[in-house]
């Protein structure tokens, strides 16, 4: 008994689920549910379909290369059963899982890092540009207590024309 990966969305296929399609060149396509199967029949490229793991990995939304992925490798040669090795493997698998999960979380964090700053600048800009929808411009000046947030980074660089002229000469 083996858990397989869906060809389209890369989720695990448990026994009793899904469909396998064998093409004339003997390549086997396994699908976890009819959604993936139907998408395949429509000849959609999983790398272009947003919700699949292939897309996410391609577009850098998920962890692609990591040492924890090296542990899980399909070996085609059967190994003779050794109880100790299997015991060790079972314990190791749990730990590897933990490590992998942590690393994925950190990856996500680093991806979302600049979000707060970006949101802030966007909010400030929107407030400044569209305040007239809510408050009349005249009122703005008369209420000094209401001030717009300062836009932090952007400072306009003023090039003095005189220096330019000097350079030309």
Partner 1 sequence: MVLYNFKQITVVPSGKEFVDIILSRTQRQTPTVVHKGYAINRIRQFYMRKVKYTQTNFHEKISTILEDFPRLDDIHPFYGELLNHLYDKDHYKLALGQLNTARNLIEKIAKDYVRLLKYGDSLYRCKNLKKAALGRMCTVMKRVSPSLAYLEQVRQHMSRLPSIDPNTRTILICGYPNVGKSSFINKITRADVDVQPYAFTTKSLFVGHTDYKYMRWQVIDTPGILDHPLEECNTIEMLSITALAYLRAAVLFVVDLSGNCGYTIAQQAALFHSIRALFANKPVIIACNKTDLQPFETLPESDKKLIEEMRKEAARAGAGLVDGAPPDEENCMLTMSTMTEEGLINVKNAACEKLLQMRVEMKMKSKKINDCLNRIHVAVPKARDQKERPPVIPQAVLDARAAQNNAAENKRKLEKDLENENGGAGVYSANLHKHYLLLDPDWKDDIVPEIMDGHNIADFVDADILQRLDELEREEDERAAAAENGMDEDEDMSDQDLTPEEAEALAAIRRKKKLMLAEHRAKKKTADNKPVVPRRHDVERQFNTSRMGRHLSSLGLDPTAAVNRARSRSAAGTRSRKRERSEAAGGDDMEVDEQANKRMRSRTRSLSRPHKEALPGEGFKDSAQKVKAMKIGKNAVKERNKDARKGEADRVHYNKKPKHLFSGKRGTGKTDRR
Residue 118 contacts partner 1 per CB under 8 A: no
Residue 105 contacts partner 1 per CB under 8 A: no
The contacts of residue 71 (CB under 8 Å, 6+ apart) are: 92, 96
* DSSP structural state of residue 133: G
Among 25, 72, 166, 169, binds partner 1 (CB under 8 A): 72
Euclidean distance between CA atoms 98 and 4, whole angstroms: 22
Quote the least distance from Cβ 26 to partner 1, whole Å: 22
Residue 38 contacts partner 1 per CB under 8 A: no
Binding mask 134-163 for partner 1 (x = CB under 8 A): xxx-xx---x--x-xxx-x-----------
Kindly list the distances between the CA atom of residue 75 and the CA atoms of 2, 45, 80, in Å, as whole numbers in the listed order: 13, 28, 13
Q: Pairing state of beta strands 19-22 and 4-5?
A: unpaired
Euclidean distance between CA atoms 136 and 142, whole angstroms: 10
Q: Which residues bind partner 1 (CB under 8 A)?
A: 1-3, 12, 67-68, 71-75, 79-83, 85-86, 88-90, 92-97, 99, 102-103, 106, 113, 116-117, 120, 123-124, 126-127, 130-131, 133-136, 138-139, 143, 146, 148-150, 152
């Amino acid at each position: 008994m083996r858990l397989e990966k869906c060809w389209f969305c890369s989720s695990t296929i448990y026994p009793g689920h899904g469909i396998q399609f064998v093409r004339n060149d003997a390549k086997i396509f396994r699908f976890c549910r009819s959604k993936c199967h139907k998408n395949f029949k429509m000849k959609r490229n999983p790398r272009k379909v947003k919700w699949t793991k292939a897309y996410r990995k391609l577009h850098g939304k998920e962890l692609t290369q990591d040492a924890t992925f090296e542990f899980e490798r399909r070996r085609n040669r059967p190994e003779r059963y050794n109880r100790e090795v299997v015991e060790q493997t079972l314990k190791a698998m749990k730990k590897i899982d933990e490590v992998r999960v942590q690393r994925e979380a950190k990856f996500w964090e680093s991806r979302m890092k600049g979000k707060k700053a970006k949101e802030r600048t966007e909010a400030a800009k929107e407030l400044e540009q569209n305040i007239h929808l809510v408050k009349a411009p005249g009122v703005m000046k008369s209420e000094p207590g209401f001030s717009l947030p300062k836009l932090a980074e952007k400072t306009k660089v003023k090039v003095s024309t005189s220096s330019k002229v000097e350079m030309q000469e």
